[in-house]
Amino acid sequence: MNKKDVILITGASSGMGRETAIRLAKQSYIVYAAARRIDKLNELKEFGCIPIQLDITNEQDIEHAVSTIEKAHGGIDVLFNNAGVATLGSLEETAIEDAKKLFEVNLFGLAHLTQLVIPSMRKKGAGKIINTSSIAGKVHGPLSSWYVASKHALEGLSSSLRVELKPFGIDVVIIRPGVVSTGLIGTYVDPMINQPENGSYAEMTKVIADWSKSRDNNPKYSSPPSVIADTVLKIIKSKNPKTAYEAGKTSSQMIWSRKLLSDKTLDKMMLRFLKS
């Protein structure tokens, strides 16, 4: 792909999306940085990014964003589906409405945006769709059933879509971040902590919350968002990208553990961790 390719990045107001938008703009790509709150994107203008308002759960926002870009450039060459949220907590104590909101962002909104981007890619016979999954797309864990479910669903959707679109010259690629410092960990860990202190899952919650917070923005245990930006750039430049990329600390190790260990063995390791 040439250096004037048009790239749309969702969830670009912070973390991995922001870092990737800046990196690609510096590489002379035409980068549309999308987020629910456009005021958080203003500083990206200085790097050459084009801010665009896009709430991934709002169909009108999605349609307007795609239409705007297509009118200006004829289509989108690379779609980086990066927007996502996490809802942590026990299945028992998580409201179904919260779970539905999670799937609206992590799966259905992503799918609707992808649907609208495909036609112009198909007509050109080229394009790349990059979906941010997670190690949770392959590895389960306690107090994360809905998040794990959404990422498992995204992995299945991506794999099926990859085969559907290959005859049209469109690549579908998954990125599985490991522990990456985004500064957002409190947004999903803190609500989990606010569960009843004497609840059935209180002890388990404390272990996981303490572990998560100890790794956020800690270079010993987590990687900077730049590892994702590097991976996205590598995918864009590749004529034949892999179907999936692990990026960030613990990602490769956790994926390999899923391949090598039985369900029961992995469960036992997690239960030992919760008691440590």
The residues annotated as belonging to the active site are 147
- The CA distance from 163 to 92, in Å, is 36
Strands 50-53 and 244-247, sheet pairing: unpaired
Evaluate whether 47 touches 26 at the Cβ level (below 8 Å).
yes
Q: Which residues share a beta bridge with 247?
A: 177
Q: Is 153:107 a contact under the CB 8 Å cutoff?
A: yes
Q: How many CB atoms lie within 10 A of CB 163?
A: 9
The distance between the two most distant Cα atoms of the chain, rounded to a whole number of Å, is: 58
